[in-house]
Amino acid sequence: MLRIYLKRWVSQLFTRLPNHKPELNQNLKTMKRTVLIIVLLLMYTSASAQLFSKEKIVNQENFDKDFLTWGYFLGFNSYDFKFQYTADQAKNPDILVETTLGFNVGLVGDMRINEYLNLRFEPGLYITTRNLQYDESYFAGQEFNQFDLVREVKSTYIHFPLLLKASTKRINNFKPFVVGGFSTALNLSSNEENPDDNDAGEFRTKKNMLFYELGFGIDFYLEWFKFTPSIRGIFAINDELVRDNDPNSPWTSNIDKMQTRGIFVNFTFQ
């Protein structure tokens, strides 16, 4: 309506002005440019107002108001080992850890504390493999073969983390958060009770582990569910190594402590 009114007013203005005087022709051109600029500015202002004042569609508006919510997650992991060595190890190179990409799957239970805090329990299955590579200097004065320089460590963890999730205020259909807490894990692939050690090719690890975890992610509120990608770091508290029967074992005697650390990338659906 505003554009039609301005167009009619300009047309009437131009037809009423005499056009036989040269000095008026210049004035008409100036007025045309001025009116055109005003019309364009008004159109832009109107369009901008409609764009930014339009209400956003809020998905799953009441999702976070439930006291308890449930879901599941799928993801990937990359586990590593952090070694602390004895004083005698200073003369030898570090043990190299070759990591692989593992798989995660599990369940999510979420308890609402308030608008910004949630307590989460995320039991899951984590499968990974790590290869340890020893330098030949570890076997100085001993007979060895290439098989002795490599040890494969397979781990299948049943993971039980209890986490505190701290979120920001929801912004339209997404909400960033940080998360942290403690966890325990049962290693189903542990050979802690196996009497055979590295002399028989068995690198032994403990069955029960304790960790602390830190991470971050973003909740995306979709039309039918909430989707949450997250990244989390995990760090062992206790020593995972089971030492060989021989106190002078080239595989374990120089290790003071061996602790798991890793990164999880999880995709949660609630």
Q: What is the pLDDT of residues 73-93, one digit of tens each?
A: 999 999 999 999 888 776 778
Query: Is it the case that residue 63 has pLDDT exceeding 90?
Result: no
Among the residue ranges 2-11, 74-83, 220-229, the one predicted with the least confidence is 2-11
Residue 19 — pLDDT band, cuts 50, 70, 90? very low
Q: What is the pLDDT of residue 33?
A: 58
Q: Calculate ∠ Cα 208-215-85, nearest 5°.
A: 50
Q: What dotted CATH number matches 63-269?
A: 2.40.160.20
Average pLDDT of the residues of the chain = 82
Residues 112-126, mean pLDDT to the nearest whole number: 95
Q: Where are the chain's structural domains?
A: 2-53, 63-269
Query: Is it the case that residue 41 has pLDDT exceeding 80?
Result: no
165: nearest Cα among 221, 121, 210: 121
Global confidence as pTM: 0.74
237: nearest Cα among 252, 263, 257, 267: 257
For every residue of 160-210, DSSP letters joined together read EEEEEEEE---BTTEEEEEEEEEEEEEETT--TT-S--GGGT---B-SEEE
